[in-house]
Amino acid sequence: MTPPRIDIIRIAAADHRKSGQQLGEIARGRLHAEAALTFDDLPAGRTIAQQRALATEYLVFTEPRLPWLIEELHGVADGAGLDFLDLFAASIEELWYEPRDRVTHGRCSDVVAGRAATADGHLIVGHTNDLRPSAEEHIVGIERRVADDPTIFQLGGVPWLSVGWNSAGLSLTGNELSPNDERIGISRSHQVLEMMRARSLGEMIAMSLRSDRASSYNNVLASCDGGVANVEGSATDAEVTGLDGDDHLVHTNHYVCDRMLTYEGDPDYAVRSNVRYERARALIAARPAGSITPVAMREIISDHDTKPDSLCRHPEYGSAESKTVFWCVADVTDGRITFGRGNPCDSQAQEYVFEEYAGRR
């Protein structure tokens, strides 16, 4: 059965606290459900009290560095009627697993076609997002218009983003990594929220490289002017690369850059992630130069040939713990994002268009 459409929440506010309060009020039921699910899944041997104590350490570190974010999260907690510290704790990915003691069955895949690789000279980004099947019903789109920030459109949970774009012409997708040097700092789940406020690709890259981060995703960053940066990071190091000689970029959930291999905290899973990585590289390389369209990109990310470790992941392929819960194909040049709940091979396509791009088209 084709999954239902993704709900879009629209927020417009004069400041971040009011923005958070609006979001909390609108998504009250979702937020309570997500918070309950999070605290039902504590790391082995850790209590809720210990989680709250660790979250307090992150809070003390984060508040003076990202005060706007703390204001926004206070607003979310107030609007939803949630305890602020519980909400903050739920937002810190680094708290909810031991890096060397987790089961990972699929996370995300990114495929990028630069302007020389596409049929119309546009920059196209494809992404699949793999999580537990139960997460699929909680995926939402959020349009944020807050004060003087760029307009932001994001996909993920509430209020967290998995992928996002803004009216400054910037795109942020990426993949979770397993760095072995995590520490108290700015959580990667908060760092991406900061990055979506950037107004240039250079500013977004600098935010991804902030020296006080707790860890890092592999961030796939792109700009409507054709710029692309892949930031493969850990807490203490990073390597920034870009499109290859064919104007392609692929990344999945393991370290690829030579200097970053020493930070791999899940080498067993890296082998499985590499299956998707090599398959995506082969698929995009097989396309003739200058031929890729958004439709072709969706075909690439709908591939099943390496199941169960396929780009389009289904639990019936042998991994009941993980599936593709949403997908997206973004024409970054045109500010046009096509997306859908569930698998890209069988999903209702929805579209979000940045009207602010009108002067660039």
Return the SS3 of 183.
coil
pLDDT value of residue 359: 41
- d(C-alpha 352, C-alpha 330), whole Å: 9
Start-to-end Cα distance in the chain: 37
Q: Is the preceding peptide bond at 308 cis, omega within 30 degrees of 0?
A: yes
* Summary mean pLDDT of the chain: 93
pTM of the prediction? Answer: 0.96
Domain ranges of the chain: 10-95, 108-359
So what's the pLDDT on residue 100?
45
Taking only the tens place, the pLDDT of each residue in 144-154 is 999 999 999 99
pLDDT in the model for residue 36: 66
Query: What are the distances in angstroms from CA 236 to CA 95, 141, 205, 206, 272?
Result: 18, 32, 15, 14, 25
Give residue 37's pLDDT: 63
Using one digit for the tens of pLDDT, what is the confidence trace for 224-238? 999 999 999 999 999
DSSP for 139-153?
-EEEEEEETTSPPEE
| pLDDT recorded at residue 131 | 92
* Contact partners, residue 29, CB within 8 Å, separation at least 6: none
The CATH class that applies to domain 108-359 reads alpha beta
Question: Are 41 and 51 spatial neighbours (Cβ–Cβ below 8 Å)?
Answer: no
DSSP letter (8 states) at residue 324: E
- Residue the block writes with tokens 């392929």: 317
Residues contacting residue 21 through CB under 8 Å, at least 6 positions apart: 13, 75, 76, 78, 79
Residue 265: predicted pLDDT: 94
pLDDT at position 320 over 90 = no
CA distances from 43 to 94, 102, 315, 325 (A): 11, 9, 24, 23
Q: Give the confidence band of 1 by pLDDT, cuts at 50, 70, 90.
A: confident
44-74, pLDDT tens digit by residue? 788 889 999 999 999 999 999 999 999 999 9
pLDDT above 90 covers a percentage of the chain that reads 84
Separation between Cα atoms, residue 191 and residue 216, nearest integer Å: 8
Give residue-wise pLDDT tens across range 270-306: 999 999 999 999 999 999 999 999 999 999 999 999 9
Write the single-letter amino acid at 259: R
Residue 360, CA atoms < 13 Å, CB-side half-sphere: 19
Torsion sign over Cα 122, 193, 218, 260: positive
Give the model's confidence band at 212: pLDDT under 50 very low, under 70 low, under 90 confident, else very high: very high
User: Which tens digits make up the pLDDT trace of 177-210?
Assistant: 999 999 999 999 999 999 999 999 999 999 999 9
The number of beta carbons lying within 10 Å of the beta carbon of residue 361 is 9
Supply the pLDDT for residue 98: 59
